[in-house]
């Protein structure tokens, strides 16, 4: 049995899937199956994949387009590896990702998922940004209350936990964010401080096309998480909180009145008895300062 299942869902991604597959096959780590689940593509994906000869490749195709959550859960159910390394069909694996992440999970059995840093490229593969996620467990766990701390296709997770939790169709478009939150409730979570993925951003990228649906799903998720820490919130307060999550802070908090409003909201959040009991007081103060600085530009 392979130690790892590299899970790639794909839909009409024939243009990019070859370099994605080749980047996996180029990894020095070799103890994996490459499970590609085609969600009813109408392009030449099947023909292209069939021409790549490697015994580790398993290609399956849905009878019709059933959506990303169905396809990912099907992959989780079929995964033979102890770990599942997620990747998308238009991305590129970097560095020694598979070896490093499987080694980390093997050495740290209390961690359920591990991610990594990534670079963002345009349609032609030109680097347009780099993103370095938090690497310590506390900041990653609590940080999920404010913003998704993990890049979906840069995460490796424990298969046994993934089979228990699975992706929730109620949170389609932010199904990964929801899953990481639930992983963080039953295990430790963190990012490794290295670039392990090249993430392609372009007009047909699903996240780019579904911004309205994505934001509504995240609003629902954030409201649920605020309820869990017993912080009552109005619709206006939820939108304020979500503005930080959506990366809109530089536009939202341009004057003293807006900044005061955010601080009053955070006074309410960080007064949560759930958080006070869960985290050290000094650590919480530092975390709040870091959030205001990193996400809002307020120092």
Residues 125-136: tens digit of each pLDDT: 889 999 999 999
What pLDDT score was predicted for residue 209?
A: 57
**98 and 20 in a common domain:** yes
What pLDDT score was predicted for residue 253?
A: 78
* Residue 151: both structure tokens together: 């890049």
Residue 215, in any domain of the structure:
no
Examine the pLDDT at 39 and tell me if it is beyond 70.
Answer: yes
**236 and 200 in a common domain:** no
**81 and 21 in a common domain:** yes
Axis crossing angle, helix 281-296 with helix 235-245, rounded to the nearest 10: 70
Residue 274, in any domain of the structure:
yes
Residue 79, in any domain of the structure:
yes
How many folded domains does the chain comprise?
Answer: 2
CB 108 within 8 A of CB 14: no
Axis crossing angle, helix 256-269 with helix 281-296, rounded to the nearest 10: 150
Examine the pLDDT at 166 and tell me if it is beyond 70.
Answer: yes
**249 and 149 in a common domain:** no
Residue 23, in any domain of the structure:
yes
**162 and 110 in a common domain:** yes
3 state DSSP class of 167: coil
Distance separating alpha carbons of residues 86 and 5, to the nearest angstrom: 8
Mean pLDDT, residues 231-237 taken together: 96
**199 and 129 in a common domain:** yes
3 state DSSP class of 206: helix
With bands split at pLDDT 50, 70 and 90, how would you rate the model's confidence at 259? Answer: confident
Domain end call among 141, 170, 204: 204
**188 and 244 in a common domain:** no
Distance separating alpha carbons of residues 136 and 154, to the nearest angstrom: 16
- Model's pTM, two decimal places? 0.94
Distance separating alpha carbons of residues 89 and 190, to the nearest angstrom: 24
Domain end call among 189, 204, 219: 204
Count the alpha carbons within 13 Å of 250 in the hemisphere toward its beta carbon.
3
Residue 40, in any domain of the structure:
yes
Look up the domain containing 45 and give its range.
4-204
| Distance between start and end Cα atoms, the chain | 51
Residue 8, in any domain of the structure:
yes
Instruction: Look at 8 and 255; give whichever has higher pLDDT.
Output: 8
pLDDT digits (tens, 9 = 90+) for 62-95: 999 999 999 999 999 999 999 999 999 999 999 9
**170 and 234 in a common domain:** no
Residue 170, in any domain of the structure:
yes
Residue 35, in any domain of the structure:
yes
pLDDT digits (tens, 9 = 90+) for 178-187: 999 999 999 9
């Amino acid at each position: 049995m392979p130690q790892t299942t590299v899970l790639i869902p794909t839909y009409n991604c024939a243009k990019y899937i070859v370099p994605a597959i080749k980047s996996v096959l180029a990894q020095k780590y070799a103890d994996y199956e490459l499970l590609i689940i085609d969600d009813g593509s109408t392009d030449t994906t099947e023909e292209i994949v069939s021409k790549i000869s490697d015994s580790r490749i398993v290609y399956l195709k849905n009878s019709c387009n059933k959506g990303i959550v169905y396809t990912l859960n099907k992959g989780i159910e079929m995964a033979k590896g102890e770990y599942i390394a997620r990747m998308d069909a238009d991305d590129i694996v970097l560095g020694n990702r598979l070896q490093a992440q499987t080694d980390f999970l093997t050495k740290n059995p209390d961690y359920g998922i591990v991610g990594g840093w990534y670079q963002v490229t345009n349609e032609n593969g030109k680097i347009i940004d780099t993103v370095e996620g938090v690497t310590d467990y506390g900041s990653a766990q609590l940080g999920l209350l404010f913003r998704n701390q993990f890049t979906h296709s840069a995460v490796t997770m424990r298969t046994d936990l993934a089979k228990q939790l699975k992706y929730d169709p109620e949170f389609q478009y932010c199904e990964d964010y929801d899953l990481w939150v639930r992983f963080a409730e039953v295990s430790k979570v963190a990012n490794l401080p290295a670039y392990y993925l090249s993430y392609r951003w372009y007009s047909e990228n699903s996240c780019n096309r579904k911004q309205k649906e994505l934001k509504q799903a995240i609003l629902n998720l954030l409201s649920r998480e605020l309820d869990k820490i017993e912080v009552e919130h109005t619709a206006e307060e939820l939108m304020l909180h979500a503005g930080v999550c959506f990366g809109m802070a530089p536009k939202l908090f341009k004057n003293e009145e807006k900044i005061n409003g955010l601080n009053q909201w955070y006074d309410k959040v960080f007064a949560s008895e759930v958080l006070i009991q869960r985290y050290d007081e000094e650590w919480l103060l530092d975390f709040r300062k870091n959030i205001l600085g990193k996400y809002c530009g307020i120092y």
